[in-house]
Amino acid sequence: MSPREVFFDSAGVRCAADLYLPEEASGPVPCVVMGHGGSGTKRLGLPSYAEKFARGGVAAFVFDYRGFGASGGQLRQVIDVAAQREDYRAAIDHVRGLPEIDPRRVAVWGTSLSGGHVLAVAAADPGIAAVVSQVPMIDGMHRGRTLRQRLNREVTTRTWQFVLAAVRDVLGAAHGKPPRTVPVVAPPGQVAVFTEPEARETFEALGGEATGWRNELAPRFLFALPQYVRGTAERLSMPLLMCLADHDLQASSAFAARVAARAPHADLRLYPLGHFDVYTGEAFDQISDAQLAFLQTHLFSPNRRELPSRATRLDVPRVERVLSRKQVGRALRFARPVLVDELGERAAHEVAHRMAREYGEVAAVVPALRAPTSRMTLRLAVDSLVLYRSLPQDTAPHVKRALVSRFVARWMDGQFDTPIARWVYRHRAPHLLLRRFWFATANLADEPDGWRFRFLKPRPGLFYGVDVTRCGIVRFLADQGAAELAPLMCQGDYQIIRFLPPGVRFVRTQVIAEGAPYCDFRYATR
């Protein structure tokens, strides 16, 4: 399929675009406006998406930003977030005036950096019919790497080298000098935007510099990364499809999921991939098929401006009393690897959507607790109950319990396996101080639906000990008809063993969930 080269004006600069039209079209057709991420240009991987969309009846208008590719602009290879979003708006205005395009059925598509652009552009333009955001970089402060990964010596060294290059570029710009660019992709050890092998392999697989893309970029963009404006997602009145990669190290899929959860009509898809995996191979086929189906649904349906039904939305209402949207997003992330491993990719995706809906039902009966101890522990019970109820009905009971047990272990790891938590728990004084505060707050609140603790007097061989005389988990799960899950919650306590101070061991002989009058927690010294 050969596109038609088109030019349009953006802030007085001539921008280049490729227009892919369906071969058999009778009358104006819907269109999706597409821009690349970061340094990407219109023929670096995007033709594969555009051709698939056009074969499916949706025209694709793929453009280059000012200063990149075939577009004009004096300042080359310099990312300007505001200017790129203005280029999107100019492209949309141009497409709406084309005789081949139905101006009422114009969607926007973005990937990586432009995945964040399309959210901002669509939030300000209610005439946009649909939004597709793929592995989006929504906010520069929310990257994909965990704190532990960022503190890795190699990553830290590379980051500071890049910061120094960006400072030099900014200082040069202040003195009127041309951009001091760095490579976009380069082998490890060099100063570049990406030094991961998978990044270099992907850029080469997509055609590299033969497509008109240049392997250089002004590093000054480091100091002008996008910032998410609170309320943007809530203003998206049109359907949103957000495709996220679970193993994305470049953009935070967790933050993106939280943003999507705020959009009124969002469809969230999670894939066990890295940031660069979405452009090639089976992953590309799977993701682009989902995107085409989404565009066809919302651009071709006679009732295309009707919003998605509640059954297809990632809608998490009324969770703020005990469960934050952040907590819901974390639970979905913890559950996904367990579900994929046991049930497969398709079934895991379906369960994740059922979980998102189930939170809306469960949150209505979750008690509002004041003590942070009670709230955190109750979240584990709620998350586990939601997962349990969302599993396929034909799943054997023992398989359901095994899945919940594995989820509880991941949940506890996610709660405690952080640098700060590990440091606190591995040192006796801060560990003991935190624990006493932790238990005392629950006792002070003295909430019927919460927890109650009885402290043991210090004695030789006992680091500290408490008895749980009232357990909110057992009461909540029993009230919800899922008392069989309570013992699984108690198993999560053993995850803490790995984070105890040297010479301290955890001992417990009875639990309320198994019919005992109280739970005994003993932290003994060897």
**Quick one: which of 107, 48, 122 has its CA closest to 294?**
107
Residue 221 has pLDDT above 90, yes or no: no
pLDDT for the residue 495: 67
Average pLDDT on 119-134 reads 94
Residue 308 has pLDDT above 50, yes or no: no
CA distance 250 to 259: 17
DSSP string, 82-111: HHHHHHHHHHHHHHHT-TTEEEEEEEEEEE
Lowest mean pLDDT among 216-225, 268-277, 487-496, 511-520: 487-496
pLDDT tens digits for range 487-516: 888 776 666 777 788 888 888 888 888 888
DSSP string, 169-231: HHHHHHTTPPP--B-SB--TTS-SSB--HHHHHHHHHTTGGGGT--S-B-GGGGGG---PPTT
pLDDT for the residue 436: 78
**Does the predicted TM-score (pTM) go above 0.85?**
no
Higher pLDDT, 412 or 307: 412
Cβ proximity of 463 and 432 under 8 Å: yes
Query: What's phi and psi for 524, nearest 5 deg?
Result: -100, 150
Residues in the chain: 526
Higher pLDDT, 143 or 498: 498
266 beta partners: 240
Interior angle at CA 95, CA 90 and CA 98, nearest 5: 135
pLDDT for the residue 301: 67
Average pLDDT on 126-144 reads 86
Which two tokens mark 460?
């030789």
Local confidence band at 423 (pLDDT 50, 70, 90 cut-offs): confident
Which residues have C-beta within 8 Å of that of residue 17, sequence separation ≥ 6? 5, 6, 7, 8, 42, 61, 62, 63, 64, 91, 94
CA distance 92 to 227: 23
3-state DSSP assignment of residue 37: coil
Average pLDDT on 80-94 reads 94
* Mean pLDDT for the chain overall: 85
Which two tokens mark 366?
């979750």
pLDDT tens digits for range 326-378: 677 778 888 888 898 888 888 888 888 888 878 877 877 888 777 777 878 88
Cβ proximity of 319 and 354 under 8 Å: no
Cβ proximity of 271 and 278 under 8 Å: yes
pLDDT for the residue 307: 38
Residue 150 has pLDDT above 80, yes or no: no
Average pLDDT on 79-90 reads 93
pLDDT for the residue 398: 87
CA distance 273 to 381: 29
Average pLDDT on 146-157 reads 57
Residue 144 has pLDDT above 80, yes or no: no
H/E segment holding residue 345: helix 345-362
Average pLDDT on 272-288 reads 92
Local confidence band at 323 (pLDDT 50, 70, 90 cut-offs): low
pLDDT tens digits for range 21-79: 998 877 899 999 999 998 999 999 999 999 999 999 999 999 999 999 999 999 999 99
Higher pLDDT, 276 or 314: 276
Query: What's phi and psi for 281, nearest 5 deg?
Result: 65, -155
Cβ proximity of 400 and 388 under 8 Å: yes
Burial class (CB in 10 A: 0-12, 13-18, 19+), 143: middle
Query: b or e along 474-494 (b: 16 or more beta carbons within 10 Å of the residue's beta carbon)?
Result: bbbbeebebeebbbbbbebee
Q: Which residue is listed with tokens 């497409």? A: 95
pLDDT for the residue 228: 83
Percent of the chain with pLDDT over 70: 91
Dihedral angle of Cα 428, 429, 431, 437, to the nearest 10 degrees: 150
Residue 521 has pLDDT above 80, yes or no: yes
pLDDT tens digits for range 167-201: 988 888 888 888 999 999 998 888 888 888 888 89
pLDDT for the residue 306: 41
* HSE of 351, CA atoms in CB hemisphere, 13 A: 33
pLDDT for the residue 492: 63
Local confidence band at 319 (pLDDT 50, 70, 90 cut-offs): very low
Query: Would strands 130-134 and 240-245 be described as parallel, antiparallel, or unpaired?
Result: parallel
Cβ proximity of 194 and 184 under 8 Å: yes
Query: What's phi and psi for 130, nearest 5 deg?
Result: -165, 160
Residue 18 has pLDDT above 60, yes or no: yes
Cβ proximity of 419 and 151 under 8 Å: yes
CA distance 102 to 232: 26
